[in-house]
């Protein structure tokens, strides 16, 4: 049996108009099947349904170049648009020519896992209480509500591995399993491009991450991309404060430092994208194990020196990180099993808004078709503490701590702490209590600048 093909054109020869195609990969440029994606663009196949985490930024050798070439009619994604990043896909969504199905990241891979396992559907607690359940079946089990999720079946999956043999056995490297196994199993035809093709037996059986029975075609990549070159610039320097009442607040780095103080010892902690990722820099020496939904457990502080960077070791934001002794790698299905199964003790996320009922909105910038859910809803369906880190008001001075959230909810009544550039607040079961304020500010000032109900604690301190 020989599943090796000599070109991307041969691998994609039978893709027809209207096919459902999954594109694996994570972050900005980590292990995407770039050779296959470029060949699919050049082939010009139309009316595609693309299943992916997101289509990516303008010009990205991901699903976005297919949208730019007007080959896509529908996307099933966790991110449809990102604030401040205009794309061809966003324009087509606005024009009504591109259909969108937004799916929480963990449910996206679980629906594909179900499709590959021959299951029709399953019930999940993720997204209950949000706009995503409108018009869908809800059912109660043991006093808790769940929403019915239908399996996803794929015609093709475009995957990227580290190496494979001619039988189709694939090995992934580091944190780059992500969506690959789930997408590959859900596909009628899984095509994998790899850095190296070896003879059967070279890959030890225990290192085969996707058995050849799930893979139809294997090819060598032609577009080797160095992840070191793909780093998102900060929108605003993390060490520069904003000003309120003509006084400096704490910086985004200091928000992260104060959030790190709330993390309990002997716990597993998930860090979201943005300010949350900086928390890893302030946990050194702590008995805390960090989890990233792309498939890493046990990473440490961010790495910036070129000599220390491993392109396959990165966090949920695609930033390169160091590994701690005892670290492990796994796919996205396993990652979200840890979340929904209640094994993560603390989740730290950014947000657009938090309201006085401890509900949070962090995924949509306009409506239920235009936003980035990511893994937040899955992470909130566990049972751990939720720490929200963000600035006290948005870039236009509008409140982010609201009486009631104005954006679609990510979760109801789930926030344990809020850390902003002005304050640290704790949910006491009825309302938020002010525990610390930025140096130079008083509790009364913070309460006056906050729309939600907020009371001062008995011993308000200064933030670090």
Asked whether 431 and 457 are in contact (CB, 8 A), the reply is no
Say which residue the tokens 């891979």 belong to.
Answer: 109
Which residues lie below 8 Å from residue 22, measured CB to CB, with a gap of 6+?
50, 51, 52, 112, 154, 156, 157, 158, 179, 183, 186, 187
Helices (H), 54-146: 63-68, 88-95, 105-116
The span from the CA of 35 to the CA of 225, in Å, is 10
Tokens of 167: 């039988």
* C-alpha distance from residue 81 to each of 106, 181, 270, 426 (Å): 18, 25, 23, 32
Tokens of 363: 């995924």
Rounded to 5°, angle at Cα 273 from 178 and 343: 60
Q: What are phi and psi of 432, to 5 degrees?
A: -90, 140
The span from the CA of 156 to the CA of 21, in Å, is 5
Say how many C-beta atoms besides its own lie within 10 A of residue 300's C-beta.
Answer: 18
Q: What is the dihedral sign for C-alpha 212, 213, 214, 219? A: positive
Please list the active-site residues.
293
For the chain, give the longest Cα–Cα distance.
74
Helices (H), 82-179: 88-95, 105-116
Q: Is 327 strand, coil or helix?
A: strand
Tokens of 312: 């396959």
Tokens of 198: 């070896």
Tokens of 371: 């936003």
Tokens of 23: 């594109």
DSSP letter (8 states) at residue 269:
E
The span from the CA of 154 to the CA of 171, in Å, is 22
- SS3 of 178-192: ECHHHHHHHEEEEEE
């Amino acid at each position: 049996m020989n599943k090796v093909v000599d070109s991307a054109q041969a691998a994609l020869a039978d893709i027809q108009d209207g096919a459902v195609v999954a594109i694996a990969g994570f972050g900005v440029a980590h292990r995407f099947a770039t050779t296959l994606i470029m060949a699919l663009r050049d082939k010009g196949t139309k009316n595609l349904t693309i299943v992916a985490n997101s289509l990516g930024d303008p010009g990205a050798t991901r699903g976005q170049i297919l949208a730019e070439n007007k080959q896509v009619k529908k996307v099933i994604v966790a991110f449809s648009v990102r604030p401040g990043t205009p794309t061809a896909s966003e324009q087509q969504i606005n024009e009504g020519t591109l259909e969108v199905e937004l799916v929480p990241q963990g449910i996206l891979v679980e629906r594909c896992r179900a499709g590959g396992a021959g299951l029709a559907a399953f019930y999940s607690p993720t997204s209950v209480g949000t706009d995503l359940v409108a018009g869908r079946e809800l059912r109660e089990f043991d006093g808790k509500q769940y929403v019915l999720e239908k399996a996803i079946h794929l015609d093709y999956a475009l995957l990227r591995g580290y190496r494979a043999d001619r039988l189709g056995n694939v090995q992934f490297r580091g944190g780059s399993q992500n969506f690959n196994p789930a997408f590959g199993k859900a596909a009628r035809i899984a095509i994998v491009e790899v850095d190296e093709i070896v003879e059967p037996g070279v890959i030890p059986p225990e290192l085969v991450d996707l058995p050849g029975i799930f893979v139809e075609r294997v090819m060598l990549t032609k577009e080797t991309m160095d992840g070191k070159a793909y780093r998102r610039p900060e929108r605003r320097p993390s060490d520069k404060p904003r000003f309120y009442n003509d006084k400096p607040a704490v910086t985004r780095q200091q928000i992260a430092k104060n959030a790190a103080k709330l993390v309990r010892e002997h716990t597993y902690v998930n860090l979201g994208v943005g300010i949350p990722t900086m928390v890893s820099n302030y946990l050194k020496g702590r008995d805390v194990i960090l989890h990233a939904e792309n498939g890493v457990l046990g990473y440490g502080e961010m790495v910036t020196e070129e000599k220390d960077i491993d392109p396959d070791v990165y966090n949920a934001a695609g930033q390169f990180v160091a590994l701690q002794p005892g670290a492990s790698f796994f796919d996205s299905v396993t990652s979200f099993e840890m979340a929904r199964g209640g094994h993560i003790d603390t989740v730290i996320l950014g947000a657009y808004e938090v309201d006085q009922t401890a509900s949070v909105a962090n995924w949509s910038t306009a409506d239920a078709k235009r936003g980035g859910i990511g893994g937040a809803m899955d992470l909130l369906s566990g049972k751990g503490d939720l720490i929200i880190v963000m600035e006290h008001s948005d870039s236009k001075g509008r409140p982010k701590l609201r009486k009631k959230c104005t954006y679609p909810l990510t979760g109801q009544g789930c926030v344990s702490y809020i850390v902003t550039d002005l304050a640290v607040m704790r949910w006491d079961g009825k309302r938020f209590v002010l525990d610390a304020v930025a140096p130079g500010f008083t509790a009364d000032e913070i309460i006056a600048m906050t729309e939600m109900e907020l009371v001062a604690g008995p011993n308000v301190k200064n933030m670090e």
